[in-house]
Structure formats: C-alpha cells, structure tokens
Amino acid sequence: MTISNNDLKKYSSLNRKIKRLEHQLFVVEGEKICKELIKNDFEYESIFATKNLQNEFPLSTLCSKKEIERISHLKSPSNVVAICKIPIFKINIKDKKPLIFLDNVNDPGNLGTIIRTLDWFGYKQVFCSENTVDCFNNKTVMASMGSIFRINCHYIDFTDFQKFFPGHVTYGTTLDGENIGSVMLKDKSIIVIGNESNGISKEILRII
C-alpha cells in the first residue's frame, strides 16, 4: 500500500479545524506519541513511517521523508505520523471528581498542558466552551504528550453543561479569589477556568 496524492492533499489540510471536522480526522506526530496512540488502542486510519522506523511501527505504510513533510505541521517533522479518527465522546454523568470547565481557553499549548495534568490526576473527561481552542489542534495534541488519548474532551455550552449536573456547586477561578487549596470543595463541584487574558466570561460569572 502506498499513499496517494489525493490522500496527501487531504491529510495536509488537517492543520485547519474546518477540515478536521469535515473529514473527522486529526494528525498525530512523533515516535513517542504514536506509540501512546497504539498503546491506548485509539482508533486511527493510517500510520506513515520512513524506512528507519518501520520496524518500530510494523503496521505502518512506508513513506518518504518528503511525503511526511507534506502531512506534518511541524517545522522539523518527525519520521512517523498517524492519521487518527475523531472519536464520539459520551458524558459520564456519574463522574465523582470535581468537574473542570474551560471557558474560552485560547492557547493550544495551554489546553494540551491542562489535558496532560488532568490525566496525571486520574481524570477521564474535561468540558470546554464551544469557543475554546480545538483539542485536536496539532499543538494541543503535542503538548498533551499522549494524554489526549485518555481524556474525553466535551465541547458544550455552559448552560447545557449545567443541565447534566444540576446538583453541582460551581466555583470560578479569579485572580482575586481564595487559594483553591484552602477551599473545602463540595462533593459535587464544578471548577471554571477562564481565558488567559480576560478570565471567565461575564455570562458565566453571573451564574457562579
């Protein structure tokens, strides 16, 4: 099996959110993250690797470095990329952990770091406003360091989100707030984290 020009064109377009949504695919780059992908049985369409990495990825399709460079979104492309399927996530309404809601987090690297941190603390899901950066943005995927395969990212309007968890108490993070370590959170709680520059939106602040 070889990669066709049509597929190369399609995969190279996945750096744009609109194309990721159209094809329901996203790109994963790098040896370590691609191994995490396989380890977590995350569904993928194809893995492409250069000759020197084919032994590491026996199910991959052999590609030239130039072909991978066309797919890659990095300045210094790796020798392996995977084309993954965007999953359909189901909200776990029985989640006993404090629920994290991200309100218009704008930087893909920040989102990836949050996903990685939540994974470290045993979280399985995170909730994002519809104007939060796409979790399948290449920079987010890279910053998550493989945690994107273990965390379900739900994009949902805050009022719709609250309907799933009507008994939860909502806490907002602000610069002039109390230290979260000193707050006794309720058993059923929601923590809202706002935009990097502007904090939590006025619409949500009114609800908190």
Domain 99-207 carries which CATH code? Answer: 3.40.1280.10
Mean pLDDT, all residues of the chain: 94
Q: Please write the tens of the pLDDT for every residue from 1-54.
A: 578 899 999 999 999 999 999 999 999 999 999 999 999 999 999 999 999 998
Answer yes or no: same fold for 5-85 and 99-207. Answer: no
Judge: domain 5-85, CATH 3.30.1330.30: yes
Per-residue pLDDT band for 120 (boundaries 50, 70, 90) equals: very high
For residue 165, the model assigns a pLDDT of 96
Domain ranges of the chain: 5-85, 99-207
- DSSP-assigned letters across all residues of the chain: ----HHHHHHHHGGGSHHHHHHHTEEEEESHHHHHHHHHTT--EEEEEE-GGGTTTSTTSEE--HHHHHHH--SSS--SEEEEEEPP-----TT--SPEEEE-S---HHHHHHHHHHHHHTT--EEEE-TTSPPTTSHHHHHHHTTGGGTSEEEE--HHHHHHH-TTPEEEE--TTS--GGGS---SSEEEEE-BTTTBS-HHHHHH-
Q: Which residue has the higher pLDDT, 74 or 133?
A: 133
